[in-house]
């Protein structure tokens, strides 16, 4: 892991008006992993888009973290199925 690709959680909390405990809950529900480095908690930059989705689900749709977790599991399953579908289509074209 590259430490220059980390965003300080306290800065994210200020920007999005979130409490730090929100990130503890996200970590507990395996929605987002916090990184502890030099006495501070961070998230990796690559997870910022995921965090923004979580915030929208929570604020706009009033979903709890359990519901958000289910949504992400379903989205990941859909992605895997789409990839498998493409693989099978490519394989079928090979035999045509």
43-74 pLDDT per residue, tens: 999 999 999 999 999 999 999 999 999 999 99
What's the whole-number average pLDDT of the chain?
93
The residue-averaged pLDDT of 34-46 equals 93
Q: Give residue 1's pLDDT.
A: 55
Print burial letters for 13-30: b (CB count within 10 Å at least 16), e (below 16): eeeeebeeebbeebeeee
pLDDT (average), residues 67-92: 96
Segments making up each domain of the chain, as ranges: 3-95
Q: What is the pTM of this model?
A: 0.82
Q: Which residue has the tokens 């490519």?
A: 90
pLDDT at position 93: 86
Backbone angles phi, psi at 50, to 5 degrees: -65, -45
Gap between the Cα atoms of 23 and 47, Å rounded: 12
CA dist., res. 47 & res. 9, Å (int): 12
User: Quick one: pLDDT at residue 94?
Assistant: 80
Segment 3-7 shows an average pLDDT of 85
CATH number of 3-95: 1.10.1660.10
Alpha carbon distance 75, 12 (integer Å): 25
């Amino acid at each position: 892991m590259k430490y220059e690709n980390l965003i300080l959680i306290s800065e994210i909390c200020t920007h999005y008006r979130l409490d730090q405990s929100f990130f503890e809950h996200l970590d507990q529900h395996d929605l987002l992993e916090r990184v502890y480095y030099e006495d501070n908690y961070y998230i990796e930059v690559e997870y910022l888009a995921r965090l923004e989705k979580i915030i929208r689900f929570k604020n706009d749709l009033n979903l709890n973290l359990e519901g958000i977790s289910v949504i992400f599991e379903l989205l990941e399953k859909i992605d895997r199925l789409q990839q498998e579908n493409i693989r099978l289509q490519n394989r079928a074209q090979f035999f045509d």
